[in-house]
């Protein structure tokens, strides 16, 4: 006997034949997911679905892809560049408490005061906790601040250059080229600093 096979969601997938029950010749063994009612005639793209009877399911309407405006393409490229820069600079701040990172400008200013013969409460407190003199802490902080400033200056330059190139682009290909050039510059600068971008 002919039956009609459905998939796990009830959609018609093809015809099947039942087997005769070897224990009772008048009984047919119907495979799982099969029904004995034939599906309706379908037009191209339609599907038949069994739900206590056949339903005709029209194909989904797939809208034409939306073409992005050049403004959106530019904004997406700038956001991608900023995201990459954030990812890069996070390697310097990821394992630090937020408030400590926020104190870096204050610490750098305090370090300069100590290096010029003055005193700074923030440098004195850190030195006392570490059990070292303030000049040692100030020298270390000044060196780290200088290195971080160089990194920030470089990535700021890359970002601004990328924004200029992206703003001048009139096509997606030109935007992509400007972004690729900025990324190549960033990688080159990072490599020269012994870092990975």
Inform me whether the pLDDT recorded for 61 exceeds 90: no
The per-residue pLDDT for 195 is 79
Confidence of residue 145 (pLDDT cuts 50, 70, 90): very high
CA–CA separation, 64 and 115 (whole Å): 65
Lookup result for tokens 């599907």: 47
Residue owning tokens 């290909």: 173
Q: How far is CA 189 from the centre of its chain?
A: 24
Confidence of residue 63 (pLDDT cuts 50, 70, 90): confident
How many angstroms separate the CA atoms of 149 and 43, rounded? 68
197: pLDDT confidence band, cut at 50, 70 and 90? confident
Distance from C-alpha of 188 to C-alpha of 186, rounded to nearest angstrom: 5
pLDDT of residue 114: 97
């Amino acid at each position: 006997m002919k039956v009609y096979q459905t998939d796990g969601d009830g959609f018609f997938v093809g015809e099947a034949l039942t087997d005769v029950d070897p224990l009772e010749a008048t009984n047919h063994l119907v495979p799982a997911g099969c029904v004995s009612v034939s599906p309706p005639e379908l037009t191209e793209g339609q599907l038949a679905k069994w739900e206590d009877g056949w339903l005709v399911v029209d194909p989904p309407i797939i809208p034409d892809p939306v073409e992005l405006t050049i403004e959106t393409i530019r904004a997406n490229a700038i956001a991608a560049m900023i995201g990459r820069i954030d990812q890069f600079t996070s390697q310097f701040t990821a394992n630090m408490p937020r408030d400590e990172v926020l104190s870096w400008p204050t610490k750098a200013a305090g370090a300069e005061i100590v290096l010029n013969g003055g005193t700074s409460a923030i440098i004195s407190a850190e030195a006392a906790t570490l059990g070292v003199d303030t000049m040692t802490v100030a020298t270390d902080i000044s060196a780290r601040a200088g290195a971080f400033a160089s990194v920030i200056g470089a990535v700021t330059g890359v970002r601004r250059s990328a924004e200029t190139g992206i703003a001048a682009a009139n096509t997606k290909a030109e935007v992509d080229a400007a972004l690729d050039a900025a990324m190549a510059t960033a990688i080159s600068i990072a490599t020269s600093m012994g870092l990975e971008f």
